[in-house]
Amino acid sequence: MNAFSPQIKRDYSLDGPENRHAVEVGLASAEWYHSEVPRKVMKSLMRRSDEAADRDTVLWFLLLIFTGSATIALWGSWWVLPFLLGYGVLYGTACDSRWHECGHGTAFKTDWKNNAVYHIASFMVMRNPISWRWSHARHHTDTIIVGRDPEIVLMRPPEIAMAALKFIGVPDIFYELRTLARNAAGIITEAEKDYIPEAERPKAIYWARVHMAIYGAAVLLALVTWSILPLVLIGGPRIYGCWHMVMMGLLQHGGLAEDVLDHRLNSRTVLINPVSRFLYWNMNYHVEHHMFPMVPYHALPRLHALIKHDLPAPNPSIADAYGDLIYALVRQTREAGYTIRRALPPTAQPYCEEFHDTDGVPSRRAGK
């Protein structure tokens, strides 16, 4: 039995043997498969505009102000519930997609708008804006490469109860607050050093201190007013409003292959309703996003239409995707090497198979 046998839990840490293994076999910083799109078409898809993100951001802030104000006004009455739940999702879920798209710098044409929304959303989602920018860059370089990707959410064999707790922000908020507190104390771990360049580490410490100061002020306000309301409005939505973020986030790569160089094998596109698309900024087109991360969220439906002949059919609904995911997770509890493998249409190029570890045992080859 070797180190990567399906019976043994793999080491997902960034400073362990799987990291060295990934580098040795050519899985790190590798070239990935992508569908062919003519250059002129790709340029039109990549073209930046402020229009869509201005509209969506103004609407987002207006909805936050409306539901937040209604929550304050109706606090103590049962009538507060719909506004509280709405505020929670707008804060605790929509922040994730805004963090993501503005981190890529693709949402707005005007870069200060990307940076401003990125910092606000980073605070709301409880992520250090510096370290998570670098972590996400690594996620795109080495998507679901074990030992390299710091953003693998569902590790194998899966801990299904822990995955379910994520819908109420557990244990994520404890982990994120602990990380922010550690960074604020000036500590950057060895794993963080693996993807955050030295010159960026002081910035990570600075922004962690800013975030912790705001949370500290919210706690102080709650104590002074002897009311939980400040924490319900600041930080709290990461618990009671994150369910939609987690619901969509688990679908991005859950149950799919590890250690492959073809996003069609490790990412999932799901067709979803317009409200969820507004909250999620079209990240349901996840194969397309990973293949072409420079395409803004508002152009992803057009990109999907252009390359769907080369992709596995998308899941037609969130419920359908969860059917696949839950089956895969349950099976992985007793057969950790199992992954979902979707059929390609006859018009598609075949999968890049070299690293496809359907049996949980990545093939090995000499370094590239």
Partner 1 sequence: MSGWIDVCDAEDIDLEDVIRFDHGGRTFAVYRTLDGAVFATDGLCTHEKVHLADGLVMDDTIECPKHNGRFNYQTGAALRAPVCEALATYPARLRDGRIEIEVEQS
Q: Which residues bind partner 1 (CB under 8 A)?
A: 29, 40, 42-43, 46-48, 104-106, 111, 133-134, 137, 140-141, 197, 199-200, 292-294
Is the CB of residue 288 less than 8 Å from the CB of residue 294?
no
CB of 3 to partner 1, least distance (A): 27
Q: Is 30 exposed, middle or buried (0-12, 13-18, 19+ CB in 10 A)?
A: middle
Closer residue to partner 1, CB minimum distance, 197 or 274: 197
d(CA 216, CA 50): 34
Minimum Å gap between C-beta 251 and partner 1 is 23
State which residue, 196 or 318, has the beta carbon closest to partner 1. 196
CA gap 49, 296 in Å, rounded: 9
Question: Is 216 or 293 the residue whose CB approaches partner 1 more closely?
Answer: 293
Q: Which alpha helices (H) appear in the chain, and where do they start and end?
A: 17-25, 39-46, 51-74, 80-92, 94-104, 111-124, 129-141, 160-165, 172-184, 190-193, 201-225, 229-233, 237-240, 243-253, 263-266, 274-280, 286-291, 300-307, 318-334
* Between 97 and 106, CB nearer to partner 1: 106
* Residue 142 CB neighbours (<10 A): 27
Closest distance of CB 140 from partner 1, Å: 6
Task: Please report the sign of the dihedral spanned by the C-alpha atoms of residue 238, residue 241, residue 242, residue 245.
Answer: negative
Nearest approach in angstroms of CB 307 to partner 1 is 15
Q: Which is nearer to partner 1, 42 or 165 (CB)?
A: 42
To partner 1, the closest distance from the beta carbon of 110 in angstroms equals 11
**Dihedral (CA of 36, 39, 41, 43) sign:** positive
Least separation in angstroms between residue 338's CB and partner 1 is 30
Of 309, 289, 352, 294, the C-alpha closest to 36 is 309
CB of 182 to partner 1, least distance (A): 22
Identity of residue 86? G
Q: Which is nearer to partner 1, 200 or 354 (CB)?
A: 200
Q: Which residues contact 40 (CB under 8 A, 6 or more apart)?
A: none
Residue nearer to partner 1 on the CB measure, 31 or 190: 31
| Residue placing its CB nearer to partner 1 in the complex, 208 or 233 | 208
Gap between the Cα atoms of 164 and 169, Å rounded: 10
Q: How far apart are CA 93 and CA 91, in angstroms?
A: 6
**Residue 262 CB, nearest distance to partner 1 (Å)?**
15
